[in-house]
Structure 1
Amino acid sequence: MAELARVVALRKVDDVLADVTATAKELIPGVDLAGVLLVGKANSFETLAPTSELMFRLDELQIRFGEGPCLEAALDEIVVRIDDFRDEPRFPNYAPEVVKLGVRSALSFKLYTADRTAGALNLFGYEPKLWDSEAESIGMILAAHAAAAILASREGEQLQSALSTRDRIGQAKGIIMERFKIDDVRAFAMLRQLSQDTNTKLTDVAQRVIDTRGE
């Protein structure tokens, strides 16, 4: 656990999540499959760090039916536990399909991800009634590591985007200053006015100025 905490900020998010799902199989008896499901708008979803190709199928079925432990954990509950899919009334469409795939039990943990994306760490077993409160405690800690890695990655992406935006606006200001022999305050005012007049994002206006600087 301590090692996972140390590497969250130092490694790529995919590598950290792969460690989380592998560690879940190692530390929690009975975990045969593990993965992370991220759910976005309009039924968009992504399966990350699966320990088996079967995880893709399990997640796909949940999105298709709009039900399942991973979705419920991602969108509503903190922990969702399934002792036996053969006797699970909460998911009448999903459960029978999972049983056909040989999966009997599940344990899903909410990931506290930001913005408009929900997520869950999902563990599945081929045998029924596998997990106790200790398994849930370990799973919640691992879910916290997964969420931290995802949030760190998103913050890094946002920082890079902000730096790129600032750079583009700076380049556009320089071009306008040279072209019209004005100072940077006036150049920025012209960019902003053009953005408002054309109902175009300031960054898009700046990019247009850069693209047409030779014209």
Structure 2
Amino acid sequence: MRGTRAGKLPLVSQPRPQDLAHKMAELARSVAVPRTTEDIFAEVTKAAVELIPGADAAGILLIRKGGKFESHAGTTDLPHRLDELQHRFQEGPCMDAALAEVVVRTDDFRRETRWPSYSAAVQEFGVFSGLSFRLYTKDRTAGALNLFGFQPTEWDADRQTIGTVLAAHAAAAILSSQQGEQLQSALMSRDRIGQAKGIIMERFGIDDIQAFDMLRQLSQEGNAKLVDVVQRVIDTRGR
């Protein structure tokens, strides 16, 4: 890695406006086309390295309920290794962005004091700057889009704006995935309730409304979840 004179950060060229507009249009179209969450994550991290000067590697960190770390869509294996460092030290910019701050910026890890153990360790990997963006997620998942530079880098307003837009795309992918899972779960529950009602209607000669009332009453009296009562009724079929 080429060094820089003390107090001066390297000059890097900004992306042309037409390049930025073209890439953003591609990402916007990708949201409307069926893709996996991981596909969209990969597109976002690739775009971050292409569009943001000084970003030599990028990845996405998700922190699940209970503190489980997940590394996604690293443009190299470096982001994953740095996520492991933060998990070990329980400190670092990606954690702070995922759990608390909207944007976390480090122009030079040699001068960073917020995370002493992590900052010293990343320099051994040749990383001297970083920029992290909180993903606007909710419920049980927190996350961040993370950029890493092999030189000290001045992460100016233009770079931060591009990163914020890309983080919003990644967050939309997470939310869409969660909503899809919830919808699938709801449809499966509705189907099982219909099966249970049909069994009760046939067995006791009652109508649809009475069958559902019976299920609800069994749930209340047994202090059990409705889905559990429904499954027990389905399991009695054929007996």
CA-CA distance at 1:93 after TM superposition: 1.9
Match of 2:27 in 1: 4
The structural deviation recorded for 1:44 is: 1.2
1:18–1:211 distance in 2 versus 1, CA, 3 Å = same
Amino acid at match of 2:178: R
State the AA in 1 paired with 2:168. A
Residue 196 in structure 1 maps to residue 226 in structure 2: no
Whether the aligned pair in 1 keeps the contact of 2:41 and 2:72 (CA below 8 Å) is: yes
Amino acid at match of 1:97: A
Which residue of structure 2 aligns with residue 92 of structure 1? 116
Question: Please, which runs of 5 or more residues in structure 2 have no aligned partner?
Answer: 1-23
Superposition TM-score, scaled by structure 1 size: 0.95
Contact 1:18 1:49 in 2 (8 A): yes
- Aligned match of 1:118 in 119, 142, 154? 142
Aligned to 1:213: 237
The structure with the largest alpha-carbon Rg is 2
SS in 1 for 2:133: strand
Q: Does 1:47 align with 2:71?
A: yes
Where do 1:122-161 residues align within 5 Å?
Answer: 122-161=146-185
Distance 1:61 1:194 in 2: 51
**Counterparts of 1:214 and 1:100, CA distance in 2:** 66
The CA distance in 1 between the partners of 2:154 and 2:91, in whole Å, is 22
Query: How many residues are aligned here?
Result: 215
The residue identity in structure 2 corresponding to 1:146 is A
Q: SS where residue 47 of structure 1 aligns?
A: strand
The amino acid across from 1:65 in the alignment is F
Query: How far off is 1:74 after superposition?
Result: 1.1
**Deviation (angstroms), 1:130:** 4.3
Q: The residue matched to 1:93 in structure 2 has which SS?
A: helix
Give the match for residue 16 of structure 2: none
- 2:102 aligns with 78
Alignment of 1:23-42 (within 5 A): 23-42=47-66
Alpha-carbon distance, 1:117 to partner? 1.4
Q: Distance in 1 between matches of 2:127 and 2:222?
A: 56
Instruction: Give the C-alpha shift of residue 212 in structure 1.
Output: 2.2
State the distance in 1 between where 2:199 and 2:32 align. 38
Instruction: Give the whole-Å Cα distance in 1 for the aligned partners of 2:153 and 2:199.
Output: 67
TM-score (norm 2): 0.86
Residue type matched to 2:230 in 1?
A: A
In 2, distance between residues paired with 1:84 and 1:198? Answer: 61
CA distance in 2: counterparts of 1:62 and 1:75, whole angstroms: 13
Alignment RMSD (CA, Å): 1.3
Cα distance in 2 between the residues matched to 1:184 and 1:205: 16
Identity in percent:
66
- 1:93-149 per-residue CA deviation (whole Å, 9 max, x = no partner) reads 211111122211100001101212111100011111243221111101101111111
Aligned counterpart in structure 2 of residue 106 of structure 1, from 114, 130, 150:
130
Q: Distance in 2 between matches of 1:145 and 1:187?
A: 45
Alignment deviations for residues 138-191 of structure 1 (CA, whole Å, 9 cap, x no partner):
101101111111111111111111111111111111111111111111111111
Give the match for residue 181 of structure 1.
Answer: 205
**Structure 1 CA distance, aligned partners of 2:142 and 2:41?**
15
Contact (CA 8 Å) 1:74, 1:120: kept in 2 or not? Answer: yes
